[in-house]
Amino acid sequence: AASNVVFSDTNVQEEEWYRETVKRTVHVFTNESTDEFCIARKIINTYYIGPYDSNGTAVMVVSVAKNQLENVFSSIPVTAGSGYAILDDDGKNLYCSNVYEYAWQASGCGEQDEFTLSLDGEKYLASNCQAQYGIHLLFLTPNSDITASVKPLMATYSLIFAGISLVLLLAIY
């Protein structure tokens, strides 16, 4: 479902998200009252008004219901225990699938792109990606899930290798 609402700035000028957007040009936040993930962007129209007139300034907000974010990011997780978090530049958790909320602080706040992370005794393969508009994506996959995925393949390849070795030994004999 989609909706459009137009406000005069007098109705929203005291809102924190509005002030941050006007100050930063782009602001990412979560609207707790509507449970939505939002990206706000300042738009300046200088065509009619002129470059220094605030009457040409507007703020556009695009929001997605948090329960629809999985559909927006429609990627299939690498493993059943994999998950991701969406964070702002300050490390504030805007959305978290099934990963720990404090993973960002444990990861060193985005200093590395790929690294191993230990949370509650479980080791994770982590990947940090900075997207546009001050959004950081943190992907986590438990090492135990990776190992469990690889074991059946290794068993199959081991059997094939053993079979080929046996045939070669018989052929050499």
Note the pLDDT of residue 169: 95
Using one digit for the tens of pLDDT, what is the confidence trace for 37-67?
888 888 877 665 555 555 557 788 888 887 7
Say if CB 103 and CB 85 are below 8 A apart: yes
b/e per residue 134-154 (b: at least 16 CB within 10 A): bbbbbbbbbeebbeeeeeeee
| Mean predicted confidence (pLDDT) in 103-114 | 58
| Mean predicted confidence (pLDDT) in 23-32 | 83
Note the pLDDT of residue 166: 95
Angle at 25 between CA 11 and CA 91, to 5 degrees: 100
The Cα 21–Cα 7 span in angstroms is 15
Using one digit for the tens of pLDDT, what is the confidence trace for 59-106?
888 888 877 776 666 555 667 777 777 777 777 777 777 655 555 555
